[in-house]
Amino acid sequence: MSTETKVGLFTFIGLVLLGLCIFALGSFSITKGYDITVHFTDVSGLPAKSNVRLNGVEVGKVKELKIEGGEILALLKINEGVIIYKNSKFAIAATSLIGTNYLQIEQGNPQSGILEPGSHVTGMSLPSITNMITDALNSIQNLTGGINDNGKFAEDLNAALENLRNLSGNLNDLIFSLRPYLTKSMQEVSELTKASNEVMQDLQTGKGLFPALVSDEKMRQDVEQTLANIKQVSDDAKQFVGQMAKFRIFWLYDAYYQPNGRLGSSDLFVKFVPGNGYTYYSAGVANLGNKDNMPKNDKDFRDFNQIDVRLGVYNQWGDLAVGMIRGSGGVRAAVKPFYKANNFIVKNFALYGEATDFGRKRVINGRMFDKPFYALGAQAWINKNVGFNVRYNDIAEASALQIGANLSFEDKELASLLGLARMAN
């Protein structure tokens, strides 16, 4: 065997051995640590060797993925010295919408104890983005079909509108019957103001019949004071009527559908706008429904019939409200980024967020909720009465996509009735 042949053979054997070593050491790590096995029903495309992060900090790797029975087992290699508590949450997360997946650990509390090496835990399996998009499209199609085909949504909506029409009609009849008395009272106030002005002018100039009859100086002063009071009352009445002309009341009805869980909910509010151009008040009930007649499923974490009372300020580019929002103290903010646009839909497009229930620590449908309620959404109005929106509810806990329709009706009759009640007081 020639020298060249021996060198070539030796080189070939060396390359083979090097390849075997690389293959054998591919899953070997010199980093010390311990193993934890996480049980999933779906790992949403999580690759082996992907990162493991504890509250955003990388603390290990996914060593292996294997299927046993109906579950997927993810074997984690956690770095030495990293402490993970027993009630921590294990879930699949992504670096971005189209980024790679990794295993996210949300640290628990020390009171639950420390996970020992070799422990088995249950992970949270999240639906894939493809399934969520498919469910959302199906829900939109069902919602559209319900409206177009006079389905359940349309029936409920028609019933709500019929009740509002009946209420508005009854109030209109009441206002119509009271209007002649109100008109007559305002005419009498105007006539009284005119007469008092004429008498005061005569007293000040000393002309006319009345000054000649009132010779006593004290009586003259009393008469002037009385007439001045009458004039002040008249001016106040005119100012009040002017304010009531700007006073506005709106009925707001919001209907939502949650594709994840196929859940429906609705809110009903009455909104008072004093007419000063910067404040409003609203009161109503969120998540209308009879919880005893609505069996919950594993995606339903709603609190039914929550009182909602808000005080808000607004201008052309947005609004800010505080109060009891969905049953607990909180804040809601909205901004109209295109408020200068000429198109109605674009001009009234709004992005909004809610933050409430900051001290939440209670069990809902068998699950503990201990984080505040956060929601983000977008809303667009087709006209002054009908709008649509999409929002993510309870982002910090049971994040859920909702799509919905919004209705708004101005109630001029109720505004007039409240104006009369205020005048009576």
Q: What is the mean pLDDT of residues 22-38?
A: 68
pLDDT band at 209 (very low <50, low <70, confident <90, very high): very low
Q: What is the mean pLDDT of residues 306-335?
A: 92
Question: Higher pLDDT residue, 300 or 344?
Answer: 344
Tell me the pLDDT band of 21, cut-offs 50, 70 and 90.
low
- Do 300 and 343 contact (CB within 8 A), yes or no? no
Mean per-residue pLDDT, 205-220: 53
| pLDDT computed for residue 171 by the predictor | 56
For residue 415, the number of C-alpha atoms closer than 13 Å in the C-beta half-sphere is 19
Residue 421 in this model has a pLDDT that exceeds 60: no
Q: What is the reported pLDDT for 232?
A: 63
The predicted-structure confidence for 253-292, as pLDDT tens digits, reads as follows 999 888 887 888 899 999 988 877 789 999 999 988 766 6
Q: What is the pLDDT of residues 52-92, one digit of tens each?
A: 999 889 999 999 999 888 888 999 999 998 999 999 999 88
Q: What's the mean pLDDT when you consider all of the chain?
A: 76
* Distance from C-alpha of 402 to C-alpha of 259, rounded to nearest angstrom: 7
For the question of whether the overall pTM of this predicted structure is more than 0.75, the answer is: no
For residue range 162-198, list pLDDT tens digits in order.
665 665 566 556 555 655 655 555 555 566 566 656 6
Q: 45: pLDDT confidence band, cut at 50, 70 and 90?
A: confident
